[in-house]
Chain A
């Protein structure tokens, strides 16, 4: 009977997912408290701290887990602080970023490091947000912001990649989380 073993693994994964969702939620709350758009007045400019959590989930627990964490983070964030339209923004950005990072993950450790994954994800995030904003405003003029957002995304991608690299290193070294995905 090794059913309990499988059950243990599953439980561990569920618990870890829960932890990651709350971590992502706190990080996006902190970002809302100190939005980068105060410095660069363009809607949607943010550091993307929650993306560190998404990357962790994607690389250690797999795509389904990363999808769960992203979607639930956006839903809970909308319930707690925002409304429908901020949720549509964060959701469209987060989903596009996740798909881009999943695609880039195939070349991870060969063609790309975390830097490429993170910057690619940031660019996809910005594009997703502008697309959703254009749909909501029923006007394409918002694409005027995209070039600036893309440049900002390269810079922010550097920061989140460096943070994620540090976290991945510590996780691997201490073996806190075994590869479950």
Chain B
């Protein structure tokens, strides 16, 4: 038991989870993580999570994509191989817009998905074992840091006494 660095508390409804997290915050416990079958609203703030910067990454990469696409088309039509098409100007910005837009979206989208996979450490793994088989089904769990001397199961039990839990261990 001492080897474990956390205490897990199981619930069967998200409203108990929210109540418990509030209580635990009041008694200054460190919550390592909460695992839920679906995104529980309001949990982000209670766990004092910072807003993800994935959109910023997407914006930057989208900008890079736009830049590359536009510059490439302009270079092809003015420097590399200027081609007379119906007597139109070589550097015709409007016709570069569609491809520039598509490449922007491609870069932004792909980069955000990869950012999600990398940041959340999502990768194909054969050996992965979930904490509990029911977390992806109907169970909610809060993991509390128990490395400190003061955090014991008894103390957590008394803190959460009024809240309906399935199991505390």
- Please determine whether chains A and B interact with each other in the same assembly: no
Q: Interface residues, chain B, CB within 8 Å of chain A? A: none
